[in-house]
Amino acid sequence: MAIFKGAGVAIVTPMKEDFSVNYEKLEEIVNYQIENGTDAIIICGTTGEAATLSHEEHLDVIKACVEYTKKRVPVIAGTGSNSTETAIYLSQEAEKYGADGLLVVSPYYNKATQEGLIKHFTAIANSVKLPILLYNVPSRTGCNMLPETIVKLVKTVDNIVGVKEASGNISQVAKLMELAQGQVDLYSGNDDQIVPVLSLGGMGVISVLSNVAPKETHDIVAKYLDGDTKGSLELQLKYLSVIDALFKEVNPIPVKKAMNLMGMNVGSLRMPLTEMTEGNAAVLEAEMKKVGMI
C-alpha cells in the first residue's frame, strides 16, 4: 500500500529573526496545509532547508511535525545524507519519533556509482522498518539514479516502495515505469510536470507549490485520479507561470518569499541562501496576483 496518494507538501521550515526554527509557525502552517486538503507532509527536505539544520534541529523538527500533524495525514521525513552512516542514524531516529515514511535523497557531492547507490539505499532500508521513497534530483546532487537502479531497489528491498522523480526527464520517467511493471510508487518532484507524471502512472506529487496553493495542488492530482483529466490539466496550466516564478531562483528562496507576500510570515533563509532579488520578486508577485493568490 502506498504511503500516500495525492499531493504532499514539501513544507518549508519557518525561521525567527535570529534564524532559529519557529515552531509555533510550523504548527500553524501544518494545520493550514491539512485544512486545505494536503494529503501528506514532507518535512526536512530540500524546501525545508535540511542542509543548514544541525542534526539535533533536523530531528527536533521531524518530532515536532509528527506531534503537530496528530496522525491526520502521513508525515514523511527527509533523512538522506551523503554519508550512509548519517542517513542511517537520521532514519532510525525519525522512525522512533513516529514518522510514517522516509524520503531519502541520493548522496550528493560524492556522486556514487549506480552500484554504490544500490548499496547505500539498501543499507539504509535494512536499518529501519518504515517505507522509503527514493529521491532522484540530479540537479541538486550531481548524481542521476537510472531507471534500472530504481527498479532493482524496489524489487529487491521490501521497504523501498517508490521514488520522488525530479530529474525533469519525462523520457527517463517513462522508461522507469516501463521497467517497473507497476511495482514503483511514482511521485512527481516537479510542479510543472504533475499531469505528465500522472499520465505515466504516477500517484501524486511532492510539491513546493502546495506551500502557497495547497487546495489547488491537491485538486490537480485528485481531478486526474478521478478521471477529470481536462479539469486537472486546466489547473496545471493555470499555475504554470506561478510555478516558473517559484523557481526563478534556487528553492526555497522564492517560495518563502511567496509565503511572506501572502502574510504567512515564515521568516528568512539560512545562509548561504539569501533573499530573492527585487526583479525576480516582482515577477513572482505579479504572477501570484494574476491568479488571485494575493
Q: Are 198 and 235 in contact (CB under 8 A)?
A: no
Residues 6+ apart with CB under 8 A from 90: 55, 58, 59, 77, 79, 80, 81
Candidate list 152, 164, 256, 257, residue with the active-site label: 164
Q: Which amino acid is at 56?
A: E
Residue 164 bears catalytic tag: yes
Give the residue carrying C-alpha cell 485528485. Answer: 222
Q: Are 8 and 40 in contact (CB under 8 A)?
A: yes
Secondary structure of residue 167 in the 3-state scheme: coil
Burial-class residue 139 by CB neighbours within 10 Å (0-12, 13-18, 19+).
Answer: exposed
Candidate list 135, 187, 224, 239, residue with the active-site label: 135
Burial-class residue 85 by CB neighbours within 10 Å (0-12, 13-18, 19+).
Answer: exposed
User: Which positions are catalytic?
Assistant: 135, 164
